[in-house]
């Protein structure tokens, strides 16, 4: 993997971190609001918490963030090119499996 690809991966991690933090906080607050009816921070918490678009965005950003971050960690920590190549293949298979599973679940859930 080239230095240019690693710079791109770092940029992807940086770009997805703030939206992931915001989405995580939204899901946390709306989830608590669903559990504790006395809390009124977000109007229509059930609609926000179960919104399909937010869920798809969260899945997409999490997948991109996790994939790029895994590649960065791999290239920083693993020195052997053979082990690095094997681990890259494993990361690609895992991420592709997650994308297929999430896509299947999103198509299944209406």
Residue range 4-18, pLDDT digits in tens: 999 999 999 999 999
Total domain count for the chain?
1
- Asked if 58 contacts 27 with a C-beta cutoff of 8 angstroms, the reply is yes
Instruction: Summarize pLDDT for 28-67 with one digit per residue, the tens.
Output: 999 999 999 888 888 899 999 999 999 999 999 999 999 9
The predicted structure's pLDDT at residue 91: 97
Neighbours of 75 (CB within 10 A): 17
Range of the domain at 99: 3-108
DSSP state string for 22-79: HHHHHHHHHHHHHH-TT--SSTTHHHHHT-HHHHHHHHHHHHHHHHHHHHHHHHHH--
* pLDDT for residue 42: 87
């Amino acid at each position: 993997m080239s230095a240019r690809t690693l710079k791109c991966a770092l940029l992807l991690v940086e770009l997805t971190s703030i939206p992931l933090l915001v989405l995580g906080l939204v899901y946390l607050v709306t989830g608590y609001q669903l559990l504790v009816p006395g809390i009124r921070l977000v109007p229509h918490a059930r609609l926000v918490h179960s919104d399909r678009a937010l869920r798809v965005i969260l899945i997409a950003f999490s997948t991109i963030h996790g994939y790029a971050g895994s590649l960065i960690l791999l290239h920083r920590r693993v020195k052997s090119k053979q082990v690095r190549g094997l681990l890259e293949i494993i990361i690609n298979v895992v991420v592709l499996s997650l994308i297929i599973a999430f896509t299947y679940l999103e198509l299944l859930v209406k």
